[in-house]
Amino acid sequence: MKTQIKICGLSTEASIDAAIDAGATHIGLVHFEKSPRHVPLERAAELRNHAGNRVKTVLLLVNADPKLTGLAIDKVKPDVLQFHGSETPEWLKLVADNSGLEIWKALGVRDRPTLAKSSRYVGAADRLLFDAPARALPGGTGTSFDWSLLAGHDHQLPWGLAGGLDPENVTEALATTHAPLVDVSSGVESAPGVKQVDRIAAFCQAVREFDASK
């Protein structure tokens, strides 16, 4: 089965084109002011329009209040809404029911009990993203977690792997976890928020080569 690829934290038309040309299935736009990858909603809407139907656009929010969440949905019109804070299953379900959007929830993985708790999002999220535990920022920090924790885990929802992935380690990550989707941000950058076209291409190529080897 073809692994899905999300290139997150994009902020230019050129980086979106690079991701699509390399074979990404999803692009991520970050609306969180503390992030070096933050894009205002007006800019996010422009980037989403540029991507069009060529790829699925994911809008990332962190503990956004109802007003901001509604405004973000109306302005950007993403395909997917990704929550990357301490949002509850109840809130996710409310957003899903009122927006009709695909809902993703990122979860920081510290240990197996953390994974066990992920089942509470069944019926609330369409996909879980297993990421490194939050530090100063909730994501995009370039740190990974112990991928072996996912070995043998009974996934009750579609899921993806994030946190510290890059062109050099994504093959190992896939071999260890068999993730159906991989999500990269800082691993394809030359500096925080500055995407490198060649690293985006290398990341996608590594994933496709892994797929071909199965």
CATH number of the structural domain spanning residue 92: 3.20.20.70
Output the pLDDT for position 134. Answer: 63
Q: What is the pTM of this model?
A: 0.94
CB 162 within 8 A of CB 142: no
Output the pLDDT for position 189. Answer: 97
CB 143 within 8 A of CB 165: no
Output the pLDDT for position 113. Answer: 86
Euclidean distance between CA atoms 24 and 175, whole angstroms: 19
Range of the domain at 39: 4-213
Q: Dihedral, CA atoms, 121, 182, 102, 32, nearest 10 degrees?
A: 90
Output the pLDDT for position 110. Answer: 87
Report the chain (214 residues): mean pLDDT per 10 consecutive residues: 96 98 98 96 98 98 97 98 96 97 95 88 97 62 80 91 96 96 96 96 98 92
Q: How many structural domains is the chain composed of?
A: 1
pLDDT digits (tens, 9 = 90+) for 47-93: 999 999 999 999 999 999 999 999 999 999 999 999 999 999 999 99
Strands 194-195 and 159-161: unpaired
Euclidean distance between CA atoms 182 and 103, whole angstroms: 16
User: C-alpha angle 80/167/208, rounded to 5°?
Assistant: 70
Which helix (H) or strand (E) is 44 found in, with range?
A: helix 41-51
Output the pLDDT for position 139. Answer: 46
How deeply is 136 buried, as exposed, middle or buried, from its count of CB atoms within 10 A (0-12, 13-18, 19+)? exposed
